Amino acid sequence: EEACGALIEGIIEESEDESLMERYLGGEVIDESVLIQDLERAVARGSFFPVIPVCSSSGVGTLELLEVATRGFPSPMEHPLPEVFTQVGAPHASLTCSPDAPLLAEVVKTTSDPYVGRVSLVRVFAGTIRPDTTVHVSGHFASFFGTGNGSGHAHPDHDEDERIGVLSFPLGKQQRPAPAVVAGDICAIGKLSRAETGDTLSDKSEPLVLKPWTMPEPLLPIAIAAHAKTDEDKLSVGLGRLAAEDPTLRIEQNQETHQIVLWCMGESHAGVVLEALANRYGVTVDTVELRVPLRETFAGKAKGHGRHVKQSGGHGQYAVCDIEVEPLPEGSGFEFVDKVVGGAVPRQFIPSVEKGVRAQMEKGVHAGYPVVDIRVTLLDGKAHSVDSSDFAFQMAGSLALREAAAATKVALLEPIDEISVLVPDDFVGAVMGDLSSRRGRVLGSDTAGNERTVVNAEVPQVELTRYAIDLRSLAHGAASFTRSFARYEPMPESAAARLNAAV
């Protein structure tokens, strides 16, 4: 009775008939047909969102959900169509929900069926789709929102034609073949290989684009590896298909740490993904410690002597070089300066020294992380008229950089993220204290309304690997956050020692 009363009050609050609330508060029993009509109008306006609890395993709530959808939701003919654009992003004249209108449809879900392969669930807003016809597929996410938008969208913009195969209506696990689908229908299209979730389907003679969805950014990184090396190919296939099905799942193959990282919405989401890999694709995976991509740099000036001399009978190898290394400001990159005089290092081998230095920088000189923000000056060297070579001077450059590193202090640099936490006012103090405990710098806070505050901070990435889980616990699930890379900064020795001890 209490829940029913809350539902009725919610519908009346959204009613355009202001007298309805007065009549209800006055004790009048509002006719069910009036409530259904107001519910339908509120849902059509997008101002009311009924929530129907349903259990997929027992079926409890399913009939109630279908009844609400049938009785309370507006038909496609009564619902306004979304805004339509041309391929170049210009507004297009509005369309009508009619089978005779130009085709306008959207891929709302992608699944992988073990028997038929890729299946796209498509909502038809206008026009008609028939088998064996060609439609235009448009995906213009970056055109609308740009890259680096923080949405996690992984698919590049694309425009291409694709032939429609078998059409069907999904009925539970069954597929009912359809000779055609028209405006207002939701259908399944098999093997629509070029269309991703959120893409627009239209007539190839009149390509149209719907504004893409913006999905929440997955913020929980989980590093995984196939339990058995023989399963690595199956893991790759499974992850690719799961990412196509789930726009909130991002797969990262980190080239620096050589780890596969799943970016998920939370622990439950990660559990669903790992379970799907095991049950659907037969791949058992291990979760492993997430490695953060650190950097190395020189803390002071140092000189290095590189000597690569080998004689094994016949053609030998001979190269000697002397370099000086000095640190540069953060973000400066790498500079190579040639100060050789008198031809001590032949001109053709000076690029070889630089190449050897760069190769060693990629490998690291202390803890195996790439070296950044240094200037290397080639001061002197020696060569042999017969035994010197490109390879020999590469080796000499590499050895010289390693010797210079041994002569000075090498600092570890860690990535710093900018983080904004939207949190109820009651938890602001706890969130700020937690960020400080993670070596974060709280930059300030802003009022967000509705008794909420945005806390802005800079925090080392290594301290944020489980932040999505910890914040949920800290604020009882009522907070959210966004993060973006800011820069690299020197890692404190105490933090570096803890990191090395954990490896």
Q: How confident is the model at residue 101 (pLDDT cuts 50, 70, 90)?
A: very high
> 137 and 52 in one domain?
no
Among 74, 100, 133, give the residue marking a domain's end: 74
> 68 and 36 in one domain?
yes
The rounded distance, in Å, linking the Cα atoms of 146 and 140 is 9
> DSSP of 452-501, one letter per residue?
EEEEEEEEEGGG-TTHHHHHHHHTTT--EEEEEEEEEEEPPHHHHHHHHH
The answer to whether 97 and 124 have CB atoms below 8 angstroms apart is no
Q: Decide if 279 is inside a domain.
A: yes
Q: Decide if 446 is inside a domain.
A: yes
Among 185, 210, 235, give the residue marking a domain's end: 210
Q: Decide if 248 is inside a domain.
A: yes
Domain holding 277, by residue range, is 220-288
80-93 average pLDDT score: 90
> 364 and 342 in one domain?
yes
For residue 141, what pLDDT is reported? 75
Q: Decide if 176 is inside a domain.
A: yes
Q: How confident is the model at residue 398 (pLDDT cuts 50, 70, 90)?
A: very high
173-198 average pLDDT score: 92
In Å, how far from its chain's centre is CA 240? 14
> What percentage of the chain exceeds 70 in pLDDT?
96
Q: pLDDT tens digit string along 452-502?
A: 999 999 999 999 999 999 999 999 999 999 999 999 999 998 988 887 766
The rounded distance, in Å, linking the Cα atoms of 444 and 447 is 11
The rounded distance, in Å, linking the Cα atoms of 107 and 187 is 10
Angle, in degrees to the nearest 10, between helices 2-13 and 32-45: 60
Q: How confident is the model at residue 149 (pLDDT cuts 50, 70, 90)?
A: very low
> 196 and 94 in one domain?
yes
Where residue 450 sits, what CATH number does that domain have?
3.30.70.240
Across 92-114, b (16+ Cβ under 10 Å) vs e yields beebebebebbbbbbbebbbbee
> 90 and 61 in one domain?
no
The rounded distance, in Å, linking the Cα atoms of 37 and 72 is 7
Q: How far apart are the first and last CA of the chain?
A: 58
Q: How confident is the model at residue 50 (pLDDT cuts 50, 70, 90)?
A: confident
> 255 and 206 in one domain?
no
> 358 and 331 in one domain?
yes
Q: Decide if 441 is inside a domain.
A: yes
* DSSP bridge pairs for 296: 371, 412
Query: Which amino acid would we find at residue 160?
Result: E
341-362 average pLDDT score: 96
Q: pLDDT tens digit string along 438-460?
A: 999 999 999 999 999 999 999 99
Angle, in degrees to the nearest 10, between helices 32-45 and 62-72: 80
> 176 and 108 in one domain?
yes
For residue 148, what pLDDT is reported? 46
Among 381, 408, 435, give the residue marking a domain's end: 408
Q: 123: closest CA among 142, 133, 110, 139? A: 110
The answer to whether 435 and 457 have CB atoms below 8 angstroms apart is yes
For residue 129, what pLDDT is reported? 97
Sign of torsion over alpha carbons 420, 290, 260, 474: negative
For residue 154, what pLDDT is reported? 56
CA distances from 13 to 3, 10, 28, 79, 101 (A): 15, 5, 15, 21, 36
> 419 and 404 in one domain?
no
* DSSP bridge pairs for 418: 458, 484
Q: 221: closest CA among 272, 264, 275, 269? A: 264
The rounded distance, in Å, linking the Cα atoms of 271 and 467 is 17
Q: Which of 1-15, 109-123, 284-298 has the highest mean pLDDT?
A: 284-298
Q: 285: closest CA among 276, 294, 293? A: 276
The burial class, CB within 10 Å (0-12 / 13-18 / 19+), for 158 is middle
Q: Decide if 464 is inside a domain.
A: yes
Tokens 């809350």 locate to 6
Where residue 226 sits, what CATH number does that domain have?
3.30.70.870
The rounded distance, in Å, linking the Cα atoms of 115 and 173 is 12
For residue 231, what pLDDT is reported? 95
> 88 and 206 in one domain?
yes
For residue 44, what pLDDT is reported? 78
Instruction: Give the H/E segment covering residue 3.
Output: helix 2-13
Where residue 92 sits, what CATH number does that domain have?
2.40.30.10
CA distances from 124 to 86, 106, 111, 167 (A): 18, 7, 18, 12
Q: pLDDT tens digit string along 267-311?
A: 999 999 999 999 999 999 999 999 999 999 999 999 999 999 998
CA distances from 215 to 118, 197, 201, 427 (A): 22, 11, 20, 26
Q: Decide if 79 is inside a domain.
A: no
411-427 average pLDDT score: 97
> 190 and 165 in one domain?
yes
Specify the DSSP class assigned to residue 102. Answer: P
The answer to whether 255 and 298 have CB atoms below 8 angstroms apart is no
More confident residue, 491 or 49: 491
The answer to whether 119 and 99 have CB atoms below 8 angstroms apart is no
Q: Which of 4-8, 155-159, 193-197, 220-224 has the highest mean pLDDT?
A: 220-224
Q: Decide if 215 is inside a domain.
A: no
For residue 402, what pLDDT is reported? 98
pTM: 0.81
> 438 and 492 in one domain?
yes
The domain total for the chain is 5
Any idea of the CA torsion for 275, 278, 284, 285, to the nearest 10 degrees? -40
Q: How confident is the model at residue 145 (pLDDT cuts 50, 70, 90)?
A: low
For residue 150, what pLDDT is reported? 44
331-353 average pLDDT score: 96
Average pLDDT of the chain is 92
